[in-house]
Amino acid sequence: MSTTTKPKHIGRNISRIRELRGMKQEALAIAIGVSQQTISNIENSEVVEDEKLQKIAEALNVSAEAIKNFSEDSILNIVSNNFTSNDTSTLNAINIQPTFNPLDKVVELYERLVQAEKDKVAYLEKLLNK
């Protein structure tokens, strides 16, 4: 049995922080001057260059160290501690029921994916015709 620890996946940390900030890959890409595909590649990488990490950290308004040391468990503990209370007014303020139909969201996503594929096909046909 090995006792070595697995290195943190920096790209996954960037992705989760970006999502928690409510930022899309496209917005982050514009903020640091790269393409959305580059952001996708960065988020799939275990290691990110320090210079890129610094730019991403500035765009996400966090420190590079915060990205490196990000832990999902810490966030869940913070949320749990903030919303655990015997005060019933706090508990009543938390709406547990979703305000949307999850199936509608799946259909919406599927329609967007189909439209994206149609756009790709149209673009490729346009390139072929030139």
Residues 14-64 have pLDDT tens digits of 998 888 888 899 999 999 999 999 999 999 988 888 899 999 999 988 888
Q: Is 17 left (phi over 0), alpha (psi -120 to 50) or beta?
A: alpha
Helix, strand, coil shares of the chain, percent, nearest 5, are 70, 0, 30
The pLDDT value recorded for residue 30 is: 92
Place of tokens 């992705």: 15
Between CA 68 and CA 14 the distance in angstroms is 9
Query: What tens digit of pLDDT does each residue of 63-79 get?
Result: 888 888 877 666 655 55
32, 59 Cβ separation under 8 angstroms: yes
Mean confidence (pLDDT) of the chain: 80
pTM for the complete prediction?
0.54
Q: Is the confidence at residue 93, as pLDDT, over 60?
A: no
The pLDDT value recorded for residue 83 is: 53
Tell me which DSSP letter residue 80 carries: H
